[in-house]
């Protein structure tokens, strides 16, 4: 099946974090996934039909491949955020969007690493993580099939609390023929590909809601590279 790459290439150019000589010594890099309860790769007609109804929930997470945050080495660890907002995430007509969130840190982290992971996540999406209800611990895994984000096949798990599973977008996922990346990723990324969510679930507490939303054009798979705080 033919993968959809054009829109993702445009997004990548807009979202790239540029480091003239590569990632600085004080930088952090790794992989990222997110999934929402509304389509992110869609046409305006579908997006307008969902706004204020869907897209108020999301699961997102980082797997740090290299780097340290506030002097603490967090390479090999992960952190996942789960959020529920008052309005649809990314709605430009709602610049103020109250959010409640839960953070899940890698159970392999030491106390210092746990603190660093929480700080790192809050720095990446400060508006969504202002009101953290719980900080939980679970084994976090983020795997990308063949190590290639362009394929779109990936899986993020935070124990039994949260999960995202994706496949690549294909021509068959065009419904109206006018689809594009309607909502950008929730955080700045080095590169991002829209992906088709086979699973997007949260089974924990703290948000007054759990969900399992499948088979939607609602995900991103990407890489990040940021300067450490």
pLDDT in tens, 128-138: 999 999 999 99
CA distance 216 to 194: 11
Least confident of 3-12, 35-44, 68-77, 117-126: 3-12
Average pLDDT value for the chain: 89
153 lies in a domain? no
**Residue 127 counted as domain residue:** yes
Per-residue pLDDT reduced to its tens digit, 144-160 = 999 899 999 999 999 99
The confidence score (pLDDT) of residue 6 equals 43
**What's the full length of the chain, in residues?**
229
Q: Out of 8-22, 121-135, 167-181, pick the least confident.
A: 8-22
In a domain, residue 90? The reply is yes
Section 58-83 average pLDDT: 97
| Beta strand ranges found along the chain (DSSP E) | 27-36, 41-42, 57-66, 68-69, 72-73, 78-85, 99-106, 132-138, 140-144, 154-158, 162-168, 180-181, 191-202, 211-212, 216-227
CA atoms within 13 A on the CB side of 186: 34
CA 192 and chain centroid, separation: 10
Say if residue 125's pLDDT is above 70: yes
Q: Is residue 97 part of a domain?
A: yes
pLDDT band at 26 (very low <50, low <70, confident <90, very high): low
pLDDT value of position 22: 44
How many domains, in total, are found in the chain? 1
pTM, to two decimals: 0.88
Q: pLDDT tens digit string along 174-224?
A: 877 777 899 999 999 999 999 999 999 999 999 999 999 999 999 999 999
**pLDDT band, very low/low/confident/very high, at 8 (cuts 50, 70, 90):** very low
Q: What does DSSP assign to residue 179?
A: -
Question: How many angstroms separate the CA atoms of 105 and 102, rounded?
Answer: 10
Q: Does a structural domain hold residue 128?
A: yes
Tell me the residue range of the domain where 109 lies. 6-11+27-39+53-143+162-227
DSSP-assigned letters across all residues of 100-133: EEEEEEETT--HHHHHHHHHHHHHHSTTTTSSEE
Determine what percent of the chain is predicted with pLDDT higher than 70. 88
pLDDT band (50, 70, 90) for residue 54 = very high
For residue 34, which of 227, 170, 225, 188 has the smallest C-alpha distance?
188
Question: In whole angstroms, what is the distance from residue 210 CA to residue 220 CA?
Answer: 21
Judged against a pLDDT cut of 70, whether residue 83 lies above it is answered with yes
| Residue 151 covered by a domain | no
The reported pLDDT for the residue numbered 20 is 34
Whether 150 is covered by a domain: the verdict is no
- The verdict on residue 64 lying in a domain is yes
């Amino acid at each position: 099946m033919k993968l959809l790459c054009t829109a993702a290439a445009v997004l990548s150019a807009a979202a790239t974090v540029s480091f003239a000589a590569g990632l600085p010594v004080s930088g952090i890099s790794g992989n990222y996934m997110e999934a929402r309860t509304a389509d992110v790769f869609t046409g305006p007609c579908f997006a307008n039909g969902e706004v204020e109804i869907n897209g108020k929930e999301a699961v997102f997470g980082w797997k740090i491949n290299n780097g340290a945050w506030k002097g603490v080495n967090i390479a090999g660890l992960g952190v996942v955020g789960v959020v529920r907002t008052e309005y649809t995430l990314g709605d430009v007509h709602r610049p103020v969007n109250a959010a409640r969130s839960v953070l899940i840190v890698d159970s392999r982290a030491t106390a210092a690493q746990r603190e660093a992971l929480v700080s790192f996540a809050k720095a990446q999406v400060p508006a969504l993580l202002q009101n953290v209800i719980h900080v939980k611990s679970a084994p976090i895994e983020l795997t990308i099939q063949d190590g290639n984000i362009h394929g779109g096949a990936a899986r993020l798990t935070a124990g039994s609390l949260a999960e995202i599973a994706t496949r690549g977008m294909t021509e068959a996922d065009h419904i109206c023929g006018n689809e594009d990346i309607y909502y950008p990723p929730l955080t700045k990324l080095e590169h991002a590909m829209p992906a088709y969510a086979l699973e997007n679930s949260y089974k924990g507490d703290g948000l007054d809601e759990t969900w399992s939303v499948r088979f939607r054009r609602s995900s991103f798979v990407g890489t990040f590279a940021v300067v450490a705080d």
